[in-house]
A and B are shown apart, each in its own frame.
Chain A
Amino acid sequence: MKILSIFIITMILGFNINAQTSYEKRMEEAFNLWEEDKTIEASSLFERIAKAEKDNWLPPFYAAYTLVISSFEVKDEATLKLKIEKATELLNQASSSSPNNPEIMIVKALANTAYINFDGQKYGMTFSGKNEYIYQTALKIAPNNPRVILSKAEWDMGSAQFFGSSIEPYCKDIKRALGFFQNEEKSEVKFYPDWGEKKAQKILDDCEG
């Protein structure tokens, strides 16, 4: 009988754990796909999770983030617009469950950058102003968020290069971001965005190299 009760308890616990982690399991599955460079599959899976998890900003955030990243390689305007419009919809879902979230804001800015990257003459004028505004607002909300500092510095470097001025001050920003990355505490929220440290290090190496 003892064995049986242990067994049953284990089963129940097991089910419970299963129930608790089916979100986590799926999210991990999506991250694995992403790591394997299956960005479309990862994005689809994040989107499916977003459909089921209405009040959680993370699944739509990652669904949008993966879409935006994949849109940088798009060669035709129609597809680009479709991807960004879908990403924007997902980001709106994310920000309705987590308003004024700087992590979401910087992905919005990244979506605008995808347009500028595609055709600067056509989109530069409108979207660069929007991005300035987004980065400033994000920085006001989270002055010590390393991803905000990193994204803003990258953006600033892009426009500094365009105008032929020094990128030196922005290298300092990257250094500052790295400091924050190293001291960043792991968030209690599972899957909370923690990207950026490697990228910051790489940009800093380029700065110094």
Chain B
Amino acid sequence: MRVLLVLSLLLFGTQIIAQHQISGAIKGQRGLPITGANVYIVGSYDGATTNLEGKFSFSTSETGIKTLYVSFLSFEDYSLTADLSEFKNLEIKLKEDVNMLDAVMLSTGTFEAGENSRVTALKPLDVVTTASALGDFLGALQTLPGTSTVGEDGRLFIRGGGADETQIFIDGMRVFAPYTPTANNIPTRGRFSPFLFKGISFSTGGYSAEYGQALSGVLKLNTIDEPDQEKTEVSLMTVGLGVGNTQKWDKSSLSINANYTNLAPYTEALPNRNEWISPLQSMSGEMIYRYKTNNSDILKLYGGYSYTDLDLIQQNINFEEGFRFANENRNLYINGSYKSFLGNSWILNTGFSLSNDNNKSQVGEDLIDNNDNSAHLKIKLRKRINNNFEFNFGSEYFITDFDESIESNLIGDFDYGFQSNISAGFGEVDIFFSKKLAMNLGGRVDHYELWNQTLFSPRASIAYKSGEFSQFSFAYGKFFQNPSADFLKFNDTITAENASHFIANFQYVKSKKIFRVEAYHKTYDDLVKFDTEFPTFTSSYNSTGSGYASGVDLFWRDNESFKNLEYWASYSYLDTERDYRNFLEKARPAFASEHNLSLVAKYWIEDWKSQLGFSHVFASGRNYTDPNSNGFLNRETKNFNSLSLNWAYLIDKQKILYFSVSNVLGTRNIFGYNYANEMDMSGVFQREAILPNTDQFFFVGFFWTLSDDKKSNQLNNL
């Protein structure tokens, strides 16, 4: 019996000795206790959750050298390896994880759209349900501050920069002809349908070193990685029709879309200011293939082809019978990208884009035929060292081969063109000093083969989080861009234009409210100048132009104060002058307005299953030259106003009816004036107003989705 006692004592004894008591407290960097942190011994079930005072205590039957592990959301994991007996009354401080959502952001100059971004200025649906946008994502972006309303053009004009100073990228690869062809005074639209993209990042200045060849802005579009399901979509619109089909397999998917647009019924039914010989029609097809490997590498291939033609006579004060303009455009665009996780926190991004854009135009009596073959190749590597430091570097190559020929009774027949290749290297480091302070430093080097010239552009930005919801940031950068093909085709001795940006930004984001103010100053140098009315061969060119732009952009968005209502307001003040092109002196260019204001509101009416949208765009007057008085760009047009409404009605889960009217009030907006070349008998240059093709635009569409689940619809397609 005694043996038993000894034995049992021994047995129980070892058990008692083997029970280690582990205890301690967990705190954050500022000494505040962390509640709910998970503390445990790796490889055992033993552990505890910290209490309100951040304290934990548990016992374990493990022995020897073990690892104690602590994890808590938004903090970096902590581990300590030592003998179990030392895990007593531990004082552990956790480091805040700077990559977490409430950390400071390097976002000067940039607006994000899409569900992956932390601060979303535009939601995916906004891109297509903003009344004034008429279903075009470029239209939606023009309700953000920093853009100027140039109603007769439709392209993106950013902070005093011309439209060709903004570049568009799809999955990191350049788009060479992003806009649909059109005639004077008829706004263009984006070539790409918004539902291809899961995220849009719109930068109005100070962008990363990865992006070059853009003086004023970049628009980055990221295509979706994987469609949700198989479906067929049909849309019938007053301007045309479209069909699309998506097939999905285990690792890959294929989407095919075809669209046909014809404005003939529209121009027949509604009055407009042009005489159409052949109203605009276009046919386009696109195909996207996506493949995802087992370790999440993604390959994407996009191919799109479109054909557009139009033929019209526009009123012109210098041509009694009007001015004929016809265009036939063929565009082929191929974009491929590959993203690979190489392991050890290295990520490889590589891709190519190829474009062939061909225009056969009749301008008055002249026949102009041009052909643009361009390509972009890029490779980029990104490495994350730790939560506080990451870097990326890469290189890219742009090829442009442009040929044009003209047949003219007036000046004869000519062939001309240019070939311009640019190679570039770029690199950047991101340093997070803490959750509150971060910095990005980078630079790129572009080499222009045409002039055997190498140019360096430094970039820097710094951001400081001043409060729980607010942050300040600053950015500086120098940007170079090849002169436009409009000049290069006639003269290839002019060199790259450049701009410097200085930007200060304050941002306040609290749940579903965003306030943002950004002030900037930009200087332009080496802008192209010429000495004739239009750029021609005979013009003499130089790169001595310069200019500046300063301003303030304000943005306010509120999605929560009123039930079912979302609204935003943007205001931009712009002070800019340039001496470029054929300017006689420094002046505010005709496309720039001093004040731009947009108000957008959307209201969801549950009982009607409808979303009503409203948007108002205001722009102050634009400069024009009145030859009847002295000076250059010496007059200003009246203000621009346009109120647009839309109504999206969900007939059922798969059918949507959509109405939209632009400029409801029928405001007669004037973009500028054309003056007669000759004085009339009383010694006055007569003029005519530059007006839009139509004051108002109506759009009615019916969208129908067929899918297995009978539930998805084309809300995103509007």
Contacts and interface: CB of A to CB of B under 8 A. Distances in A.
A164 interface: yes
24 contacts: A3-B4, A4-B3, A22-B45, A23-B45, A41-B36, A45-B49, A48-B38, A51-B43, A52-B44, A79-B73, A81-B101, A86-B73, A121-B123, A125-B125, A125-B715, A126-B115, A126-B198, A128-B712, A129-B227, A130-B228, A133-B229, A159-B653, A163-B653, A165-B652
A1 to B, nearest CB: 9
Given A4-B4, A83-B73, A164 B609 contact: yes
A82 B38 contact: no
Given A51-B40, A126-B124, A133 B49 contact: no
B125 A121 contact: yes
Interface string B628-665: 00000000000000000000001011000000000000
A40 B49 contact: yes
The A contact surface, by secondary structure, is: helix
Given A7-B4, A44-B38, A79-B73, A133 B47 contact: no
Nearest to B40: A48
A132 B49 contact: no
A48 B45 contact: yes
A45 B74 CA distance: 19
A159 B73 contact: no
Interface string B149-172: 000000000000000000000000
A122 B115 contact: yes
Interface in B518-567: 559, 566
A22 B712 CA distance: 47
A87 B11 CA distance: 42
A148 to B, nearest CB: 15
Contacts of A23: 45
Contacts of A172: none
Given A52-B43, A136-B709, A163 B73 contact: no
Contact of A125 (B124, B227, B566, B650): B124
Given A49-B45, A52-B43, A82-B74, 8 more contacts: A7-B8, A23-B45, A41-B36, A45-B47, A48-B46, A77-B101, A79-B73, A125-B125
Nearest to B195: A125
A25 to B, nearest CB: 8
Interface string B698-718: 000000000111011001100
Contact of B512 (A86, A119, A159): A119
B42 interface: yes
Nearest 9 CB-CB pairings of A with B: A129-B228, A78-B101, A44-B38, A132-B709, A44-B49, A82-B73, A48-B40, A26-B45, A48-B47
A18 to B, nearest CB: 10
B651 to A, nearest CB: 10
Contact count band on A:
35 or more
A126 B3 CA distance: 72
Contacts of A125: 115, 124-125, 715-716
A136 B709 CA distance: 8
Given A121-B123, A159-B711, A129 B229 contact: yes
Given A52-B44, A122-B123, A163 B36 contact: no
B32 interface: no
A201 B212 CA distance: 62
Contacts of B8: 7
Residue among B69, B73, B102 with most chain A CB within 10 A: B73
B100 interface: yes
B228 A132 contact: yes
Interface string B478-505: 0000000000000000000000000000
Interface in A1-43: 3-4, 7-8, 11, 22-23, 26, 40-41
From B43, B49, B102, B607, name the one whose CB has the most chain A CB atoms within 10 angstroms. Answer: B49
Q: Is the interface of B mostly helix, strand, loop or mixed?
A: loop
Contact of B101 (A52, A82, A136, A163): A82
B511 interface: yes
Interface string A139-165: 000000000000000000001000111
A58 B716 CA distance: 38
A76 B102 CA distance: 10
Nearest to A163: B653
B7 interface: yes
Contacts of B44: 52
Contacts of A4: 3-4, 7
Nearest to A161: B606
Nearest to B709: A132
B228 A136 contact: no
A107 B41 CA distance: 28
B115 A132 contact: no
A123 interface: yes
A40 B47 contact: no
A173 interface: no
A78 B465 CA distance: 16
Contact of B115 (A45, A52, A123, A128): A123
A164 B11 CA distance: 69
B708 A51 contact: no
Interface in B18-76: 36, 38, 40, 42-47, 49, 69, 71, 73-74
A52 B46 CA distance: 10
Nearest to B38: A44
Given A11-B11, A41-B49, A82-B101, A126 B228 contact: yes
Nearest to A156: B711
B120 interface: yes
Contacts of A136: 229, 708-709
B585 to A, nearest CB: 49
A45 to B, nearest CB: 7
B650 A163 contact: yes
Contacts of B38: 44, 47-48
Most buried by A among B36, B115, B607: B115
B586 to A, nearest CB: 45
A163 B652 contact: yes
Given A40-B36, A122-B115, A165-B653, A129 B712 contact: yes
Nearest to B101: A78
Residue in A26, A126, A159 whose Cβ sees the most chain B Cβ within 10 Å: A126
Contacts of B227: 129
Contacts of A77: 101, 511
Contact of A132 (B73, B74, B711): B711
Interface string B209-231: 00000000000000000011100
Contacts of A83: 73
Nearest to A129: B228
A76 B511 contact: yes
A23 B44 CA distance: 10
